[in-house]
Amino acid sequence: MYLRLCAAAVLSLLTISSVQAQVRAPTRLPDPRTEFVRQCAPRMLGRWEHPEEVCGCLHDHAAAAVEDRDLREALLRGISETGVPTIETDWVPAAKQSEIGATFTKIAKPTLQCMFDPAKS
């Protein structure tokens, strides 16, 4: 009886330790840039010699030039879904839809640089 009780106590301690270790293990959320490049690069295959560089550059320079969070997120979505800078009006709040044209003007130079010479960006 005493042996069974000790075995049960040891088993309980091992189980509790295992559960605590699992709780303490940090869950890794994907890095937004890495996730963007992962989604974007397949769209760039065949168009560009180094699709990961182009996608990383678009994320770091073209999209980073857009201060407004809603417009930036819509731009990143457009690039990752289509492989080209695009913003669908329904991806942006109605109050900001008039800013889409100015956003493209703002990103024109860094976008061209990323697509044609990403190493210099």
pLDDT for 25 beyond 80: no
Confidence class of residue 27 from pLDDT cuts 50, 70 and 90?
A: low
Who has greater pLDDT, 55 or 4?
Answer: 55
pLDDT (tens digit per residue) in 37-83: 999 999 999 988 899 999 999 999 999 999 999 999 999 999 999 99
DSSP string across the chain: -HHHHHHHHHHHHHHHHHHHHHHHSPPPPPPHHHHHHHHHHHHHBTTBS-HHHHHHHIIIIIGGG---HHHHHHHHHHHHHHSS----GGGS-GGGGGGHHHHHHHHHHHHHHHHH-GGG-
Q: Where are the domains of the chain?
A: 32-115
Model confidence at 92, in pLDDT bands (50, 70, 90)?
Answer: very high
pLDDT in tens, 7-16: 555 455 445 5
